[in-house]
Chain A
């Protein structure tokens, strides 16, 4: 019998009991769409974490005092790291002084940014800050201890109600700084608002706010590329170990290691979501098997008739197997449609990103599950003896 005939007969069988076939298809639809949507949610959240890590700046190393360490970083340490001979893989070095608990005053408005950073112009490039208005302060501003400041959009919103503040002045802990630029919005990096920031020359910050005693808070180092990040890390560690005569009083944190950890955790998240969804697909497959078993029992007589008038075992097997696959594949198609449509909406604060592999996988798995769960019922139908099948009431 030709494949077309088998398909025609199987389609007739599916159509014969529309409600039952429909409910089984629904079960499969839910399974397939769950796989697609949940993997898309996992994928979307990973993309968001990736984007926020990237927004920290790429190829970045962070040099910090180790927990309990008693070192002080100075501008000379920063200069030593920028040495092209000792650290050929280092591209930019930015000394960083964090001024905490500073109050900004502009007219009647006062505000306390969560991050006030005294640094050098290179910091903006390393951290991927772009300017939406004005300009970054210059190296000359740093060397001349000029009291200028670049504000983040959140700070501008609070102090100037969003008006362009370039040229205005703000008082930081009582000292007047001139606003020279506003950074473009970067959003949150997952833990903090990167727009709630003020950048000023490291010298001016030390003069007016923090003083020189505590030295630098940290040093931000940018490697020449992602490939030499590990080499740059080794160079930085080696230089500082020599200078501080201690290897465990400071730590060099690698940006890509943060990304790896974050990626690993979101991958686990995606896998878990996928696994939950796969279980619902399994349940859908068992539903197909259940319905096929009922159908085979109910149609025992029909099987007997077909066999009596010349159906071979393979014909009966193919008929019921095709029925199971038609049901599950139909559920797969509707599941893909529902999954793709469902992934257009924001779910639990995450913008789902459909993974092409999950669509192919879910649809393929639905067809295979029809084949797998249809085999036993179809085999049972094919093995029936015609005399007994015909006598069945």
Chain B
């Protein structure tokens, strides 16, 4: 798989100027290449820069220096509204806290990215329902988030992430708030998506979650510490 990479980071740094004197170097020069169909886990202790990396990968934040190409688009100095469009088309987010819109049905939540993309209603509904069936939530289209368990909510969130058919699914600690049973459920969904050819970047601090990915990238102090392919996938 050596087509054009989905993610290509070249010597990316990110600094936060806290006060006049204090500058925090969250990323000190990260280079990464993630190809289409990869299933990558990003690991690191808190303060290692993995949240910052995730924000940059997710186009929620931009690098101080270095280049980031997402699916062939150079993400640099892009106006906020264009970043919003980019996120809408290229990235499906899954968050630790599920982040579904409250008091809104599962179906409407999954429809949301398509709404912002301007997809007509009927098409939207069909695609959202299909995405929910993919994650095994076809029976609960009209449940509100408050009526769903954590694992179910996270599966709805995954459905929302993949409904726009984005080149990248970006999951930030997707199992952080889940019990082991729900964790297994959600990871099974990711595995199915990976097998279907999706590119997944999963940020976690749990070894057993990372172990199910194809490749693990470890960060420490804003730098890539190691980048290893799992043996199970090597074959």
Q: Are A1 and B95 CB-contacts (below 8 A) given A12-B104, A310-B84? A: no
Distance of B231 from chain A, by nearest CB (Å): 35
- Find chain B residues with CB under 8 A from A16 CB: 102-103
Q: A65 near B: Cβ within 8 Å?
A: no
Query: Most chain-B CB neighbours within 10 Å: which of A2, A308, A314?
Result: A308
Least CB distance, B79 to chain A, in whole angstroms: 10
In the assembled complex, the CB of A110 is this many whole angstroms from the nearest CB of chain B, namely 81
Of the candidate stretches A44-52, A147-155, A169-177, A298-306, the one touching chain B is A298-306
Q: Which residues of B contact A305 (CB under 8 A)?
A: 99-101
Interface 1/0 per residue, A1-30 and B, CB below 8 Å: 110010001001000100000000000000
Whether B87 sits at the interface, judged by CB under 8 Å, is yes
Instruction: Given the known inter-chain contacts A387-B55, A387-B61, A390-B99, please indicate yes or no for A312 contacting B84, CB distance below 8 A.
Output: yes
Residues of B within 8 A of A12 (CB): 103-104
Name B75-111 residues within 8 Å CB distance of A.
Answer: 80-81, 84-85, 87-89, 93, 95, 99-104
> Is B93 a contact of A306 with CB atoms below 8 Å?
no
Q: How far is the CA of A327 from the CA of B81 in the complex (A)?
A: 28
B81 and A314 within 8 A (CB): yes
A390 to B96, CA, bound (A): 11
Asked if A311 CB lies within 8 Å of chain B CBs, one says yes
Cβ-based interface call for B151 (8 A): no
Scan residues 173-205 of chain A and give those whose CB is less than 8 A from a CB of chain B.
none
Complex formed: what's the CA distance from A387 to B160 in Å?
19
Please tell me if the beta carbons of B60 and A387 are within 8 angstroms of each other in the complex: yes
CB distance from B101 to the nearest CB of A (A): 5
Closest chain-B Cβ to A22's Cβ sits at a distance in Å of 16
- Cross-chain contact A1 with B103 (CB below 8 angstroms): no
Please give me the residue from chain A that is nearest to B117 by CB atom: A310
Instruction: Determine if A309 and B113 form an interchain contact, defined as CB atoms under 8 angstroms apart.
Output: yes
Expressed in whole angstroms, the Cα–Cα distance for A307 and B61 within the complex equals: 12
- Closest-by-CB residue of A relative to B113 is A309
Does more than half of chain A's interface fall in helix, strand or loop, or is it mixed? helix
Decide if B112 touches A309 in the complex (CB within 8 Å).
yes
Q: Is the CB of A308 within 8 A of B81?
A: no
B44 proximal to A (CB < 8 A): no
Q: Is A224 an interface residue (CB 8 A)?
A: no
Shortest distance in angstroms between A314's beta carbon and chain B's nearest beta carbon? 7
Q: Check if A315 is an interface residue, CB within 8 A of chain B.
A: yes
Chain A residue nearest to B86 in the complex (CB): A310
Query: Are B160 and A309 in touch, CB under 8 angstroms?
Result: yes
- B115: interface (CB < 8 Å): yes
Say whether B116 contacts A310, CB under 8 Å: yes
Q: Decide: A390 and B87 in contact? CB cutoff 8 A.
A: no
Which of B89, B101, B102, B116 meets A315, CB within 8 Å?
A: B116
User: B87–A5 contact, CB under 8 A?
Assistant: no
Assess whether A259 is interfacial by the CB under 8 Å rule: no
A386 at the interface (CB under 8 A from B): yes
Judged by a CB distance under 8 angstroms, whether A313 is at the interface is: yes
User: Is B49 at the interface (CB under 8 A from chain A)?
Assistant: no
A301 closest partner in B (C-beta): B99
Nearest-Cβ distance from residue A65 to partner chain B, whole angstroms: 81
Residues of A within 8 A of B87 (CB): 308-310
Q: How far is the CB of A330 from chain B (nearest CB, A)?
A: 19
| Interchain CA distance A2-B120 in the complex, whole Å | 10
Chain B: CB-nearest residue to A308 = B93
* Distance of A312 Cα from B213 Cα, bound (Å): 33
Contact status B93-A312, CB under 8 Å: no
Q: Which residues of A contact B55 (CB under 8 A)?
A: 387
A308 and B58: CB pair below 8 A? yes
Q: In the complex, what residues of B have CB within 8 A of residue A306's CB? A: 101, 112, 116
The smallest beta-carbon distance between B105 and chain A, in angstroms, is 10
Give the chain B neighbours of A2 by CB distance below 8 A.
118
CB distance from B156 to the nearest CB of A (A): 12
Smallest beta-carbon distance A2→chain B, Å: 7
A373–B128 Cα distance when bound, in Å, is: 36
How many angstroms between the C-alpha atoms of A5 and B95 in the bound complex?
25
For window 46-85 of chain B, which residues contact chain A by CB distance below 8 Å?
A: 55, 58, 60-61, 80-81, 84-85
Selected contact of A311 from candidates B58, B116, B160, CB within 8 Å: B116
Task: Check if A313 sits within 8 Å of B81, measured CB to CB.
Answer: yes
Residues of A within 8 A of B116 (CB): 1, 306, 309-312, 315
Which residue of chain A is the closest to B55 with respect to CB atoms? Answer: A387
Indicate whether A302 sits within 8 Å of B60 (C-beta atoms), given known contacts A307-B84, A311-B84.
no
Q: For residue B88, which residues in chain A have a CB less than 8 angstroms away from its CB?
A: 309-310
Give min CB distance, B173 to chain A, whole Å: 13
Question: Which residue among B60, B80, B84 has the maximum number of chain A CB atoms within 10 Å of its CB?
Answer: B84
Partner of A390, one of B84, B95, B113, B118: B95
For A235-272 the 0/1 string (1 means CB < 8 A from B) is 00000000000000000000000000000000000000
The answer to whether B113 and A310 have CB atoms under 8 Å apart is yes
The answer to whether A309 and B81 touch (CB under 8 A), given A12-B104, A315-B116, A390-B99, is: no
Q: Tell me, in angstroms, the Cα distance from A27 to B85 when the chains sit together.
A: 39
- Among residues 83 to 111 in chain A, which have CB atoms less than 8 Å away from a CB atom of chain B? none
Q: Which residue on chain A has the smallest CB distance to residue B61?
A: A387
Report A's interface with B, CB cutoff 8 A.
1-2, 5, 9, 12, 16, 301-302, 304-315, 386-387, 390
**Can you list 14 pairs linking A and B with CB atoms under 8 Å apart?**
A16-B103, A301-B99, A304-B99, A305-B101, A306-B101, A306-B116, A307-B84, A308-B58, A308-B60, A309-B160, A310-B116, A310-B117, A311-B116, A313-B80
Give me 5 other A-B pairs in contact (C-beta within 8 A), A305-B99, A313-B81, A387-B60 excluded: A1-B115, A301-B99, A308-B60, A309-B112, A310-B85
**Across chains A and B, which 3 residue pairs bring their CB atoms closest together, nearest first?**
A310-B88, A310-B116, A312-B81
